[in-house]
Amino acid sequence: MALAWKGAGCAVALLVSSLAGGAQAQLDCSDAPVTTSCSVTMTAAFPPVGSVETYGCPVGPPLDRGEVVWQVSLSEPKELSVVAAYFIPTPAKFIGVFVLGTCDEANCLAASVSNEVAEVRVCLTPGDYYVVLDGSSSTDIFQASFSCVDCAPTAVDGFSWGRVKSLYR
């Protein structure tokens, strides 16, 4: 399954990654369609079999269902926000959101795993990234939304260290 969206400064393509189980295999992003939006809400179900159970960000329990992968191409710095939850949450089911710097589950930049709502917000520089949704239940439907907005400005004090020290003398 592949879907695509396009927005200002951000392009997103969705693909479903499912490899036959067994030992953990590498995330499969080879069928990613040409990237195209960055403001979308979708409802879907995880594929029954996945290739990845753990990621480079140490959060939450292993997630053993099929992954849903987005390729995100940023032409300018953007804060990527991804929110995901099972349509009908229960305490025994976990959902995870992972932002990867490459199509490699070990190259995890940010992550959230929850039995309620998984949410990631991360400011990214221009380039290509992968967003992975993974879950512990393939029989249930999930809802995910994500958006790209301008990164919040970083507070910078223009004073030299000497000037700051003089304020407290």
Domain ranges of the chain: 2-167
Q: Which residue has the higher pLDDT, 96 or 9?
A: 96
Name the pairing type of β-strands 67-74 and 127-135: antiparallel
Mean pLDDT of 112-137: 91
Mean residue pLDDT across the chain: 76
pLDDT tens string 4-23? 333 444 444 444 443 333 34
Check residues 63 and 101 and name the one with the higher pLDDT: 101
DSSP state of 48: S
Give the CA diameter of the chain: 67
Res 36: pLDDT? 41
Q: How confident is the model at residue 45 (pLDDT cuts 50, 70, 90)?
A: confident
pLDDT at res. 37: 61
d(CA 137, CA 145): 19
CB neighbours of 165 closer than 8 A, spacing ≥ 6? none
Q: 2-167 — its CATH code?
A: 2.60.120.380
Q: What is the mean pLDDT of residues 143-157?
A: 81
Q: Residue 122: its pLDDT value, please?
A: 95
3-state secondary structure 56-122: CCCCCCCCCCCEEEEEEEECCCEEEEEEEEECCCCCCCCEEEEEECCCCCCCEEEEEEECCEEEEEE
The better pLDDT of the pair 139, 87 is held by 87
The Cα–Cα gap between 10 and 71 comes to: 10
Per-residue pLDDT, averaged over 74-94, amounts to: 87
Residue 111 near residue 97 (C-beta atoms within 8 A): yes
